[in-house]
Amino acid sequence: MAYTKGIAKKSKCRICGKSFYSQQPNARLCSDFCRYKFWQKGYMEKKRKEGKLNIKKNCNFCGKEFTTNNNSIKYCSDECREIYYKQKHKERIENGYFYKGHNWLKFRFEILKRDGFKCQYCGRNPRTDKNVILHIDHIIPRSKGGNDEIDNLITSCFECNQGKKDVLLDKRLLENS
């Protein structure tokens, strides 16, 4: 639709009722917010006519039937969602992602603190070199049977961690650094 340059026409918004000026000859909405509300109103009306507003679903955890307006909701309540999540991620929790009930970030901080916030391979630290990014590395890689226990984790910089990959280092090399 072509705009009429330089001539602003006064219109009334169909959603909020405010008067506004627009160069668009058939403008009916005053703002992005009113455009969204107009779209939402039309969308919801269309869904209501199609009978898709009240969707009947079965809970993925308890199997109970419930009604929702959102097709992506899978659980009848927050309790079912939380219980399902805990069961689904039980293996990750047991394997150390949440080390002994602690958050992984707190666990990571404890390892960084233990190692003096410096790479245990090359000795670089963020205090002296601002470009250093510290990671937590597995001494015995998980791919070679290593675990997430605190004794198997060490602080390393990004470069050393990427260079080492899943190589198994001799423990004497670590003790000398």
CATH number at residue 137: 1.10.30
**Alpha carbons 12 and 8: distance in angstroms, whole number:** 13
Least Cα distance to 134 among 150, 116, 147 occurs for 116
Give the range of the structural domain holding residue 150, as residue numbers without chain letter.
103-176
Burial per residue of 129-140, b for 16 or more beta-carbon CB atoms within 10 angstroms, e otherwise: eeebebbbbbbb
Residues 116 and 159 placed together within one structural domain of the fold: yes
- Assigned domain for 36 exists: yes
- Give the pLDDT band of residue 135 (cuts 50, 70, 90): very high
- Give the pLDDT band of residue 124 (cuts 50, 70, 90): very high
pTM over 0.75: no
Residues 66 and 42 placed together within one structural domain of the fold: no
- Assigned domain for 4 exists: no
- Assigned domain for 137 exists: yes
**Alpha carbons 73 and 84: distance in angstroms, whole number:** 13
What is the per-residue pLDDT for 5? 54
In order, the DSSP letters of 89-137 are THHHHHTTTTGGGS-HHHHHHHHHHHTTTS-TTT---TTT-TT--EEEE
49-90 tens-digit pLDDT: 666 667 788 998 899 998 887 777 888 998 988 888 778 777
Residues 62 and 45 placed together within one structural domain of the fold: no
